[in-house]
Amino acid sequence: MTRIAIDAMGGDHAPFEIVAGAVWAAAEYGVALELVGKQDQIEDCLDRIQQEGFLSDCGKAGRRHRIRVDVKSLDIKITHASEIIEMGEAPGQAIRKKKNSSTVLTVNAVASGSSDALVAAGSTGAAMASSLFGLGRIQGIDRPAIAVTLPTMKKPIVVIDGGANSNCTPQMLRQFAIMGRIFAKNVLDIDNPKTGVVNIGEEAGKGNELAQSAYTLLEEEKERFNFIGNIEGRELFLNHCDIVVCDGFVGNVVLKVTEGTASMLFRMIKNEFKSDFLGMLIGLLAKPFLRRIYQKINYEEFGGMLLLGVKGITVISHGRSRAYAIKNAVRVAKEAVETQVNQKIAESLNA
């Protein structure tokens, strides 16, 4: 049985929501767990879940409902971690200093073979740094990158890098294209994915030096990458291509602006319906329709972002993740184990 290691102490709602999401996933997807963190706190969470269950906002037409899980029937291992890496700490320093942190020990669980993949919802930087040092880089990849699947009208688009590397070289963007391609093929089942470069204009000469040079590199191997050229921010959602490459700064901005815009719009719509009595009535009727859209684009549905380019599976979850998002992150981790995406990246680079 696939075992997923989870940093139970990471994220805004740790440890309870993390543990709840993990056991929910274990029951639903048939995976074993390795929960890493303060043993007594994790045991308390498990006891509470066994006795009372927990509430979730998501999953069942978006209504708040109680989830019941028979924790005792699951295969759960607890690995005690005496330290926690806080959000503000410098990642590199933190993972060297706090060798007994839940973040480092979660990675160790995968490195040692005790678990098959890991899910982390705390500091993205620390999860990445510890994965890089604990699992090692794939040969031929200079820097691991985060693959994010963004919802669009028809099918998701892969944005890589979603935030792992703020400063990038054109050669790194080319490697992101290689990794994104294998991810799109194996995880998203896209046969010959189209690749673009995030830019601020369509023409070849547009944008900053990085985007221009990346364009040139990918254009040189146009067929290999099924390269379609530059993609502007507006076109990301129009399914012109399946993968876009950019540095992690731009990728993270794309990701968060999408999230911010969507969340603002839904709040504006909610407020607008509240403006008078008739509006409230119509809003009530419209709610199920709007909720279906919200669920299509809600980050909690996507669960987590896969770190590509390391020798192992690391899924990085949103810091604000609650149980439902963690459940989906575990699903992403399980699928990554099954599709062996990082292994296929290594094979492709050594072929």
Contact stretch for its own copies (CB under 8 A) within 15-23, 46-54, 103-111, 231-239: 231-239
Cβ proximity to its own copies, 166 vs 216, nearer residue: 166
Show the site string, 293-322: x = touches its own copies by CB under 8 A, - = not. x--xx-------------------------
Asked if 86 is part of the footprint of its own copies (rule: CB under 8 A), the reply reads no
40's tokens: 């007594």
Identity of the residue numbered 48: R
Contact stretch for its own copies (CB under 8 A) within 6-14, 33-41, 173-181, 230-238: 230-238
Considering only residues 114, 192, 208, 216, which one is a binding residue for its own copies as defined by CB under 8 A? Answer: 208
Chain residues 146-185 in contact with its own copies, contact rule CB under 8 A: 152-153, 163, 166-167
Cβ proximity to its own copies, 113 vs 205, nearer residue: 205
Identity of the residue numbered 218: L
Rounded distance between C-alpha atoms, residue 75 and residue 92, angstroms: 33
The phi-psi region of residue 241 (left if phi > 0; otherwise alpha if psi is between -120 and 50; otherwise beta) is beta
Q: For residue 5, give the nearest of 120, 85, 98 by alpha carbon.
A: 120
Asked if residue 276 lies in contact with residue 282, where contact means CB atoms within 8 angstroms, the answer is no
Contact stretch for its own copies (CB under 8 A) within 2-10, 179-187, 202-210, 343-351: 202-210
99's tokens: 């060798």
Nearest distance in Å: CB 322, its own copies: 16
Rounded distance between C-alpha atoms, residue 221 and residue 48, angstroms: 56
Identity of the residue numbered 72: K
User: CA angle, corner 75, sides to 67 and 129, nearest 5?
Assistant: 90
Backbone angles phi and psi of 281, in degrees to 5: -65, -50
Considering only residues 1, 64, 72, 205, which one is a binding residue for its own copies as defined by CB under 8 A? Answer: 205
Asked if 277 is part of the footprint of its own copies (rule: CB under 8 A), the reply reads no
- 8, 315, 351 from 302: Cα distances, Å: 19, 11, 32
Rounded distance between C-alpha atoms, residue 90 and residue 133, angstroms: 15
Considering only residues 101, 186, 230, 252, which one is a binding residue for its own copies as defined by CB under 8 A? Answer: 252
Contact stretch for its own copies (CB under 8 A) within 27-35, 137-145, 234-242, 302-310: 234-242
Residues that bind its own copies (CB under 8 A): 87-88, 90, 125, 152-153, 163, 166-167, 198, 200-201, 203, 205-209, 211, 232-238, 247-250, 252-265, 267-269, 272-273, 275, 279, 282-283, 285-286, 289-290, 292-293, 296-297
